[in-house]
Amino acid sequence: MQKDKTDPVSLKQLAGKIKDWGVSLGFQKVGISDVDLSQAELHLTNWLKNKFHGDMSYMAKHGTKRSRPNELEPDTIRVITVRMDYFPASAQEPWSVLNNANQAYVSRYALGRDYHKVMRKKLQQLASKIKNSTDDLCNELNYRVFVDSAPVLEKALAEKAGLGWIGKHSNLLSRESGSWFFLGEIYINLALPVDNDVSTHCGKCTACIDDCPTKAIVAPYQVDARRCISYLTIENKNSIPIEFRKLMGNRIYGCDDCQLVCPWNKFSNTSTESDYAVRHSLDAENLLTLFLWDENTFLKNTEGSPIRRIGYARWIRNIAVALGNAPYSIHIAEALNAKINTLDEMVDEHLVWAIQQQNEKSGE
């Protein structure tokens, strides 16, 4: 990469255009930051030392590339960060689903099309607009687009770009938009003017810490992924520890509790992006209905969805736990028994546990 040789006035005008283009493409806000993430790097280092990343080895294997953008993409001097709302307007009210033990709760971000695909396309379009407008501003413009696809400290970058502040639950928060949004980045070798960060506004509130079902937020700004339901149902490829199974309730893919109780989300907006609309009634589907999907049905119904990444076995594992937590039903008991010895030992372990839970309830 070669650094830019343009003047501050032209760069300021371009920065304004980039933000306007971003909004026209469907992003709700665009910010620009430098690449100094020294404070975030210290936080990450301590988090890894505490082994809070669990089996997510990729969080450590890239070394400082995650916290030093110019090591990941040489000569990067600015990062353009975008924010995009995702909460589907048509989705069933979350608490009504969580309070119905026979329904499946899927994290609201995963109800529609995979955000990686949606945002990457739009970010590439934004990057192309920038490139087409900088032929006379620099000798060689280079950039790289990211959507949760490489070692990038996206929340720290978004915070520096003024898109919000990192809350005590470790998610990015905005006074205007809460936290129901995705982030994406463009690493670039153009010295655009940077935006100011914003102050934190969590104050003395500990709602997210107090309401986490598994107490995964072990301290303000410290999440132990090994206890987090999102990790346990998505990233975790092995057995779910018995101590967390009942605490999972009916959450079969991810968990939103820390966002649901956050006061700032009263200012959140529903998404205008049609790709994030609910598919296959996953916002409030019956647990048993989902459990009875065969693998072909699972693959068909999760095509283009982030859910597909966990695969059919883990899908059944997660729902088995939720069915174990559901009220006793002869139909549930029969379905659980019928699935034994059809997948693998890891899944069978959860099926047996769920059957035991159902058997205990049958005598109540």
Place of tokens 């008991």: 333
The DSSP output letter for 212 is -
3-state secondary structure of 105: strand
Which residues does 29 contact at the CB level (< 8 Å), separation at least 6? Answer: 22, 23, 82, 83, 163, 174, 177
Cα torsion angle, 96, 97, 99, 100, sign: positive
Is the C-alpha dihedral spanning 22, 26, 28, 34 positive or negative?
negative
| Burial class of residue 152, CB neighbours in 10 A (0-12, 13-18, 19+) | buried
Residue given tokens 């009916």 in the structure block? 250
Contact at 8 Å (CB) between 320 and 336?
A: yes
Alpha carbons 218 and 135: distance in angstroms, whole number:
50
Task: Report the greatest alpha carbon distance in the chain.
Answer: 78
Q: Known catalytic residue: 148?
A: yes
What are the backbone angles phi and psi of residue 337, rounded to the nearest 5°?
A: -65, -35
Strands 165-166 and 172-173: antiparallel
Residue 255 near residue 107, CB atoms below 8 Å = yes
- CB proximity list for 96: less than 8 A, separation 6 or greater: 284
Using CA atoms, how far residue 138 sits from 17, 124, 131, 185, 262, in Å, is 17, 19, 10, 21, 44
CA dist., res. 346 & res. 351, Å (int): 9
User: Of 34, 55, 148, 348, which one is the catalytic site residue?
Assistant: 148
- Helical H segments across 249-344, by residue range: 257-260, 287-291, 295-301, 311-325, 330-339
Question: Which positions are catalytic?
Answer: 148
